[in-house]
Amino acid sequence: MKIRAAVLEEFGRPLEVQEVDLAEPKPGEVLVRLVACGVCHTDLYTASGADPSGYAPTVLGHEGAGVVERVGDGVGSLAPGDHVVTLFSPQCRECVHCRDSRTNLCLAIREQQNQGFLPDGTTRLSRAGEPIRHFMGTSTFAEYTVMPEIALARVAPEAALDRACVFACGLSTGLGAALNTAKVEEGSTCVVFGAGLVGLGAVAGCRLAGAWRIICVDPAEQRLELAHGQGAHDTIAGGPGVVEQILEMTGGFGADYTFEATGRVDVMRQAVESARMGWGLATVCGVAGKGETLDVVPRFLITGRRVAGSSFGGVKGRDQVPQFVDRYLAGDIDVDPLISHTLSLDEVNRGFDPMHAQDGIRSVIAFDSGE
């Protein structure tokens, strides 16, 4: 079938919205009609050429939500008409990682996905007979996409898909960092560095976990106001002296849990140094630039602080994303303030501009699909 999609032809250049070919789903695969898709910093990171694992040409986009149109042979968990959220982090429920509660890093299709292919090592996207690779196994900057069944989470049909789409990446990453990776305990003190979508998700996750005090750090006043709405009790503008500020606010000890959601290695270090002596846990969610390293003084670790990394918040997507969406429907998670701009597919490149300007939280592409 012919579809319109935003293609990354060359790193560092704007995406080109054009007509491409999309093949029918093969066994174990699903055709999804996209209704909405968030424009995430990871898309910008890859488009810029900063991602060492990036490739082109490819159709970008991974924060999608839509409706199942057709299913390939052997698909048993999804049917036409189901509402789904796309998962760049699949869940086969069978590999050694899926069967272990300690990680969400499914191994089933990891090698092929990292190379831009679907599970059989080929693509469904093409142009003039030449293959176009799939970005993160999703490629949701498009009217339709074909994805593996194991990379789609069926969600409640009552959920607006232009809200549900942010659970495909940013919001779930932050929520999961607090609830899954750090396992924030009731009555604890938490500090979140960065008030983008991931950071605000972490603030909400700490609130849902029953944290006694949540401090959010970000230089943008508008974002700090949003952090209060997600549950932050105190806010700080950040800067070189932020560690000392946090220590002063916590009786000289530091926070039980800190979260880094900026992708900046200097902030990662601040998160470690702001964690409490004895048992503080610093969870790193942000993706640093190519070749960057985290410089930590060993004394901070020897005196009991720990550092953990968190990919997609440790979320096992097919199981937990629907649960998060249900909590949104129940009023526990406030998504509306997080959607800053609504764009058409033709305006996809405009979705990157607010990231540079720190204007709002998330731009969402709304497809003209009648939903």
Active site residue 233: no
Band (371; pLDDT cuts 50, 70, 90): very low
Catalytic: which of 37, 42, 138, 283?
42
User: Taking residues 109-136, what's their average pLDDT?
Assistant: 97
CB 8 within 8 A of CB 57: yes
Active site residue 63: yes
Question: Between these two residues, 156 and 45, which has the higher pLDDT value?
Answer: 156
Same domain, 69 and 161: yes
pLDDT at 338 over 60: yes
- Quick check: is 327 in a domain? no
- Quick check: is 125 in a domain? yes
Same domain, 192 and 161: no
CB 115 within 8 A of CB 93: no
- Quick check: is 218 in a domain? yes
Which of 150, 131, 158, 137 minimizes the C-alpha distance to 64?
Answer: 137
Same domain, 10 and 147: yes
- Quick check: is 326 in a domain? no
Number of independent structural domains in the chain = 2
pLDDT at 365 over 80: yes
User: Taking residues 111-120, what's their average pLDDT?
Assistant: 96
| CATH code of the domain covering residue 289 | 3.40.50.720
Residue 289: per-residue pLDDT: 83
pLDDT at 1 over 50: yes
Residue 222: per-residue pLDDT: 94
Active site residue 41: yes
Active site residue 165: no
The boundaries of the domain holding residue 21 are: 2-168+334-366
- Quick check: is 316 in a domain? no
- Quick check: is 164 in a domain? yes
Band (159; pLDDT cuts 50, 70, 90): very high
Q: For the segment 39-77, what is each residue's pLDDT rounded down to a tens digit? A: 998 999 899 988 888 999 999 999 999 999 999 999 999
Handedness of CA 27, 134, 101, 68 (dihedral sign): negative
Of 16-30, 50-64, 189-203, 300-314, where does mean pLDDT reach its minimum? 50-64
Same domain, 117 and 257: no
Band (370; pLDDT cuts 50, 70, 90): very low
Same domain, 154 and 192: no
Same domain, 164 and 182: no
Question: What DSSP string runs through 129-178?
Answer: TEEEEEGGGT--SBSEEEEEGGGEEE--TTS-HHHHGGGGTHHHHHHHII
| CATH code of the domain covering residue 32 | 3.90.180.10
- Quick check: is 320 in a domain? no
Residue 29: per-residue pLDDT: 98
User: Taking residues 136-152, what's their average pLDDT?
Assistant: 98
Catalytic: which of 33, 62, 276, 318?
62
Active site residue 285: no
Report how far apart, in Å, the C-alpha atoms of 252 and of each of 244, 245, 273, 294 are: 9, 9, 12, 24
Same domain, 9 and 152: yes
Residue 45: per-residue pLDDT: 87
Same domain, 132 and 181: no
Same domain, 54 and 161: yes
Same domain, 41 and 75: yes
Catalytic: which of 110, 228, 264, 341?
110
Q: For the segment 181-197, what is each residue's pLDDT rounded down to a tens digit? A: 999 999 999 999 999 99
User: Taking residues 133-147, what's their average pLDDT?
Assistant: 98
Residue 318: per-residue pLDDT: 98
Active site residue 37: no
Residue 354: per-residue pLDDT: 81
Same domain, 298 and 216: yes
User: Taking residues 89-111, what's their average pLDDT?
Assistant: 97
Return mean pLDDT, the chain: 96
Same domain, 78 and 164: yes
Active site residue 269: no
Active site residue 95: yes
